[in-house]
Amino acid sequence: MYAEEMVNRTRMFYLNSDDIYIEKREIPIKIVKKMNNNFIVGKLLNKSFVDYFGYYKKYFFEFEVKETSQDFFNVNLIKPHQLEFLTKINKHGVKTFILVYFSLYSAFYLIEYTWLMKQKEISNSIEYKKIQNECYKLEIFFPGILNLKQVFSLLYI
């Protein structure tokens, strides 16, 4: 997935930063059978939460990464257990959001979870134009790094 690769590059870039730290959650899998050196059969031990967590300055955050080739974002791309998790931790003051890559426009957007839930009450499909006008576009700098610091400085005032 292109979007996750970009987030992983960004994560590595900020690894030595004093401001931003991002960690990717590992998927809890139990190996059931080894087929050969390249393939295994595994069993998912439990449903994972969301893809990433971390902190910016003194703020803890959690987020999910999604990608779409449409000119809208379908909220149903986020699994129900992930929505439940984000709702639960958001109530405790944790910053929660979704990073969405729109391949049609080669654009990344940070969508705050509370905004997303308000839109979901209206429709599960949110038009690109609405996201473009009301959410945070992530600029790409360096070779494939998302400028999270620029957006986080606006989110965490």
pLDDT digits (tens, 9 = 90+) for 108-130: 999 999 999 999 999 999 999 99
pLDDT of residue 83: 95
CA dist 24 and 12 (Å) reads: 11
pLDDT score of 26: 78
Percent residues over pLDDT 70 in the chain: 92
pLDDT tens, 35-49?
Answer: 777 777 776 666 668
Q: pTM of the predicted model, to two decimals?
A: 0.87
Q: How far is CA 120 from the centre of its chain?
A: 17
What are the backbone dihedrals phi and psi of residue 97, each rounded to the nearest 5 degrees, phi first? -160, 170
